[in-house]
């Protein structure tokens, strides 16, 4: 079962690059100049894609999701116009400092989220482990009580 999953996963990774290229080409066709805005907006995501060493590129996924979540509201009108083969003037967007602050702020927020969650998770893991350890130690005590110290001997 786990080997099936891993083979699917490796297959998915192999397919990711062509799909991304196709998606980018489709985006370039639809967004036209908006595509430049998109590239600039997801710059933090692109950077982290290449620098992320975390297992399963989790940091990329978090930062990317946050980055993309902030970009999407600005990208939606461009896509809407592009769908009707119209022209959207992106100069207003490029010069909108608030938009850039939100977009890059969201990417930075992704990083903060990672850090914060890690701290919370650390606390929870310690709590769960402590509970499990105590429960196991209680079982061990019962075993020793029932079966004697010989049960603790390695051989």
Residue 143 has which token pair?
A: 């075993």
Compute the least distance from the CB of residue 16 to another protein, in Å.
17
Compute the least distance from the CB of residue 145 to another protein, in Å.
5
The answer to whether 45 and 60 have CB atoms below 8 angstroms apart is yes
- Residues 35-54 binding another protein (CB under 8 A) are 54
Compute the least distance from the CB of residue 97 to another protein, in Å.
20
* Contact call for residue 20 and another protein (CB under 8 A): no
Residue 152 has which token pair?
A: 């603790």
Kindly determine how many residues on this chain lie close enough to bind another protein according to the rule CB under 8 A. Answer: 55
What radius of gyration do the chain's Cα atoms show? 25
* Contact call for residue 73 and another protein (CB under 8 A): yes
Residue closer to another protein (CB basis): 28 or 79: 79
Interacting residue with another protein among 38, 62, 93, 99 (CB under 8 A): 62
Chain residues in the site for another protein (CB under 8 A) = 54-56, 58-59, 61-66, 68-70, 72-73, 75-77, 79-80, 110, 113-114, 116-122, 124-126, 129-130, 132-134, 136-141, 143-148, 150-152, 154
């Amino acid at each position: 079962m786990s080997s099936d999953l891993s083979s699917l996963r490796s297959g998915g990774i192999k397919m990711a690059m062509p799909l991304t290229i196709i998606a980018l080409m489709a985006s370039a066709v639809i967004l036209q100049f908006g595509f430049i805005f998109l590239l600039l907006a997801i710059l933090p995501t692109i950077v982290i894609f290449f620098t992320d060493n975390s297992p399963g590129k989790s940091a990329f996924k978090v930062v990317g999701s946050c980055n993309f979540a902030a970009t999407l509201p600005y990208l939606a009108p461009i896509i809407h116009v592009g769908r009707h083969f119209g022209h959207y003037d992106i100069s207003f967007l490029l010069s909108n400092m608030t938009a850039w602050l939100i977009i890059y702020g969201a990417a930075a927020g992704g990083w903060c989220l990672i850090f914060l969650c890690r701290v919370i998770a650390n606390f929870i893991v310690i709590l769960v482990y402590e509970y499990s350890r105590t429960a196991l130690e209680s079982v061990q005590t019962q075993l020793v009580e029932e079966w004697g110290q010989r049960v603790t001997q390695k051989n």
